[in-house]
C-alpha cells in the first residue's frame, strides 16, 4: 500500500510539473504536409517553425523567364557578312557601333 501511495504522489507531482512547463508545440492535431512557416506561425501557442521556414513547398524560385518583345538583328559588317566570334576585334567593334546607330532602342536598359 505504501508503494502505491508513493507512485501515486510521484505521478501527481509529475503531472503538476507538466502543466507548469511551457509548451512549444501548437494546439492543433493537424499534420504539416510540408516544412514551411506559413500555417505553423498562425497556430495558437506555436513558438517555433519547423525546418525550412522561408522556402515554399515547391522549392525556391530562382529563375524568372521574361518574354522577348523583339530580338536584335544579327550583326553584319559593311559588306553584308555576319560577324563570327573568331573575327578581328576591330572589325567586330566597328560592326557593333554601326548596328547601335541603326537601333533606336540601343541606349535603353529595361533591367535594374
Domain ranges of the chain: 2-42, 73-101
pTM score of the predicted model: 0.32
Q: What is the pLDDT of residue 19?
A: 81
Q: What is the pLDDT of residue 10?
A: 94
Q: What is the pLDDT of residue 70?
A: 76
Q: What is the pLDDT of residue 51?
A: 47
Residues 6+ apart with CB under 8 A from 77: 83, 91, 94, 95
Q: What is the pLDDT of residue 47?
A: 61
Torsion, Cα 39 43 47 49, to 10 degrees, reads -20
Region label for 76, one of left (φ > 0), alpha (ψ between -120 and 50) or beta (otherwise): beta
Q: What is the pLDDT of residue 14?
A: 92
Torsion, Cα 20 25 27 28, to 10 degrees, reads -160
Name the residue with cell 501527481: 12
Q: What is the pLDDT of residue 11?
A: 94
Where the chain has pLDDT below 50, the residues are: 51-52
Amino acid at each position: 500500500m505504501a508503494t502505491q501511495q508513493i507512485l501515486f504522489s510521484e505521478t501527481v507531482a509529475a503531472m503538476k510539473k507538466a502543466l507548469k512547463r511551457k509548451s512549444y508545440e501548437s494546439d492543433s492535431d493537424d499534420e504539416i504536409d510540408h516544412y514551411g512557416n506559413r500555417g505553423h506561425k498562425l497556430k495558437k501557442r506555436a513558438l517555433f517553425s519547423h525546418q525550412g521556414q522561408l522556402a515554399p513547398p515547391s522549392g525556391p524560385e530562382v529563375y524568372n523567364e521574361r518574354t522577348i518583345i523583339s530580338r536584335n538583328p544579327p550583326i553584319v559588317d559593311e559588306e553584308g557578312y555576319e560577324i563570327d566570334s573568331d573575327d578581328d576585334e576591330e572589325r567586330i567593334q566597328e560592326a557593333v557601333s554601326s548596328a547601335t546607330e541603326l537601333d533606336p532602342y540601343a541606349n535603353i536598359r529595361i533591367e535594374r
